Amino acid sequence: MKADSLLIRYAELSVKGKNRKKFESRLEKNVRKKLAVWPEVTTSRSFGRLYVHLNGAPRLEVESALQDVFGIASFSPVMRTELDEEAVFSAADLMTKEMLPGGGTIKVSVRRIEKQFPVGSQEMNQRIGSAVLRNNPSCTVDVHQPDLELKVEIRTDGIYVSGGQKPGLGGLPVGTSGRGMLLLSGGIDSPVAGYYAMKRGLTLDAVHFHSPPYTNDRALQKVKDLARRLAAYGVGVRLHIVPFTACQLAIHQQVPDNCEITVMRRFMLRMAEAIAAQQDIKALLTGESLGQVASQTIDSMYAINQVTTMPLLRPLITMDKMEVIAQAERIGTYATSILPFEDCCTLFLASDVKTRPNAEKVAYYESFLPIQELVDEAVENAETMYIQAEQPADEADDLL
Where do contacts with other proteins occur on this chain (CB under 8 A)?
Answer: 216-218, 221, 335, 391, 394, 396-397, 399-400
From residue 394, alpha-carbon distances to 26, 36, 152, 384, 397 in Å are 31, 20, 49, 19, 6
Whether cis (ω within 30° of 0) applies to the bond prior to 213 is yes
Q: Taking the CB of residue 133, how many other CB atoms lie within 10 A of it? A: 17
Of the two residues 326 and 371, which places its CB atom closer to other proteins in the complex?
326
Of the two residues 290 and 338, which places its CB atom closer to other proteins in the complex?
338
Shortest approach of other proteins to residue 186 CB, angstroms? 15
Of the two residues 165 and 216, which places its CB atom closer to other proteins in the complex?
216
Q: C-alpha dihedral over 114, 117, 119, 121, to 10 degrees?
A: -10
Shortest approach of other proteins to residue 264 CB, angstroms? 24
Of the two residues 12 and 329, which places its CB atom closer to other proteins in the complex?
329
Helices 245-254 and 260-278 cross at an angle (nearest 10°) of 150
How crowded is the C-beta side of 342, counted as CA atoms within 13 Å? 11
Shortest approach of other proteins to residue 102 CB, angstroms? 10
3-state secondary structure of 183: strand
Of the two residues 65 and 247, which places its CB atom closer to other proteins in the complex?
65
CA quadruple 292, 297, 303, 305: dihedral sign: positive
Shortest approach of other proteins to residue 339 CB, angstroms? 11
Shortest approach of other proteins to residue 79 CB, angstroms? 24
How many whole angstroms separate alpha carbon 210 and alpha carbon 183? 12
How many whole angstroms separate alpha carbon 118 and alpha carbon 195? 49
Shortest approach of other proteins to residue 391 CB, angstroms? 8
Of the two residues 217 and 380, which places its CB atom closer to other proteins in the complex?
217
